[in-house]
A and B are shown apart, each in its own frame.
Chain A
Amino acid sequence: MLSGTFILQARIEAEELETWCAEGWLLPCETESGREFSDIDLARAHFIRDLLNLGVNREGVPIILDLVDQIHGLRRVARDLLGTVKTLQQERGSK
């Protein structure tokens, strides 16, 4: 979706969107017709808005985003590892 739709769906001001993109909180795809936002960007925007509503200040937002992204990375690795361990256990059990 383009900026106009995004602003409506994320329920934020155009100015706010500019800041978030400039700060690197959102990384939309730059295309010929302007910025193109995905569903991930929208969900992330909701999250940022919630954080600000919770009283997190602007300096705190990128820190939290970064930590949350790291947690998602960790969780993905943990899930993959557990999957591998499970497979190994089953292989051993069937021998």
Chain B
Amino acid sequence: MPVDPYVTLGVGKSASQDEIQKAYRRLAKKLHPDLNPGNKKAEEQFKDVTAAYDLLGDAEKRARFDRGEIDASGAERPAHRYYRDFSEGASPYSSEAGYEDFGDADEILAQMFSRGGRARAHMRGADIHYRLTLDFLEAVNGGERQVVLPDGSALDVRIPAGTREGQILRLRGKGRPGFGDGPAGDALIEIEVRPHRIFTRKGDDIHLDLPLSLREAVLGGEVVVPTLTGKVMMKVPKWTNTNAVLRLKGKGARRLDGTNGDELVTLKIMLPEKPDPELEKFVADWRGEYSPRQATES
């Protein structure tokens, strides 16, 4: 006969939902079969407690029960097998830790474990996922990085040139060890790239905004341009406007086929920071009739 679920949980009829949850957790912690591997009685009690909580933990079901619409048996949960039911055989989860201080008994224990170690004899180890944050130039130019794994061991990771945000590097055999003769899993390293102060990357091309003086814009000349691999000189043709884009071939990021993207330099004309009386006088005398806003005015 089903017992009163309020009695099972040890709460009064007027208990709040919160109190019911607390009561359930308190009992479940004590009675969960997997936390009591050797206690057969715990399983029965845990079932009762769980059934009672299924009923009372849900405010709606509880109201229906209180009104007498459903009885305490409610819907029986389909029986599931507990983790402890599998403790006999060997499994990937079997732990042999905790005997290092037993000294000579080690060998006897090793024998015992090997007797159990039959099931799932050969199985590939699991993959492990990591995240690695790289500086912009480190990702673009490639290099070596050491990753410290959660277990304290270090892993040398070769960053190929041209590595991009979100890319996943697979290190074969660097995951969890296999079982039996199974091979080890892989380490999967997801790459994040920190933004750069001046460069941005679109596909394999590198973009850069480069300030240009009024004189350079009007008369043209050679300017120094930073690239991924150092500075280069670039010819600016005379009469170059703001937003003009000059292309430095092959100065972009490395592609998979070994070729490189380009660097695209967007020019921005900058007036001197401090007002220059000479320039002001010169412009005042200038009779230019050009209106740059024809497109926006019409």
| Residues in chain B near residue A70, CB distance under 8 A | 95, 97-98
A70–B96 Cα distance when bound, in Å, is: 7
A7 CB-CB contact with B under 8 Å: no
Of B119-127, B160-168, B208-216, the one touching chain A:
B119-127
Interchain CB contact under 8 A, B97 and A72: no
**How far, in whole Å, are A64 and B97 apart by their CA atoms in the complex?**
14
On whether A73 and B98 interact (CB within 8 A), knowing A22-B129, A30-B127, A68-B37, the answer reads yes
Tell me the A1-25 residues at the B interface (CB within 8 Å): 21-22, 24
- Across the A-B interface, the 9 shortest Cβ-Cβ residue pairs: A69-B95, A72-B87, A47-B83, A27-B92, A43-B83, A40-B86, A70-B95, A73-B95, A47-B34
List residues of chain A with CB within 8 A of the CB of B86. 39-40, 43
Q: Which residue of B lies closest to A73 (CB)?
A: B95
Q: Which residues of A contact B289 (CB under 8 A)?
A: none
Chain B residues with Cβ below 8 Å from A82 are: none
Classify the secondary structure of A's interface with B. helix
Within B72-115, which residues are at the interface with A (CB < 8 Å)?
Answer: 80-88, 91-98, 109, 112-113
**Chain A: which residue is nearest B35 at the CB level?**
A68
Number of interface residues of A (CB under 8 A): 32
Residues B123 and A29 in contact, CB atoms below 8 Å apart: yes
**Chain B proximity of A12: nearest CB distance (Å):** 13
Count chain A CB atoms within 10 A of each CB in B28, B83, B113, B176 and give the residue with the most: B83
Please pick, from B37, B93, B113, the residue contacting A75 in the complex, using a CB distance under 8 A. Answer: B37
Q: How far is the CA of A16 from the CA of B82 in the complex (A)?
A: 20
Closest to B95 in A: A69
Does B32 lie at the interface of the complex (its beta carbon under 8 Å from any beta carbon of A)?
yes
CA distance A21 to B116 in the complex (A): 25
B-to-A contact residues, CB < 8 Å: 25, 28-29, 32, 34-35, 37-38, 80-88, 91-98, 109, 112-113, 116, 120, 123-129, 176, 185
Q: A22-B128, A44-B93 are in contact. List 11 more A-B contacts (CB 8 A).
A: A24-B128, A30-B185, A40-B92, A46-B82, A47-B82, A54-B28, A54-B29, A68-B34, A73-B96, A73-B113, A77-B112
Known contacts A24-B128, A76-B87: A50-B97 contact under CB 8 Å: no
Residue from A39, A50, A64, A75 having most chain B Cβ neighbours under 10 A: A50
**B83 engages A75 (CB within 8 Å):** no
Q: Give A75 to B112 CA distance when docked, in angstroms.
A: 12
Inter-chain contact B88/A54, CB cutoff 8 Å: no
Closest to A25 in B: B93
Closest to A36 in B: B123
Q: How far is the CA of A75 from the CA of B32 in the complex (A)?
A: 17
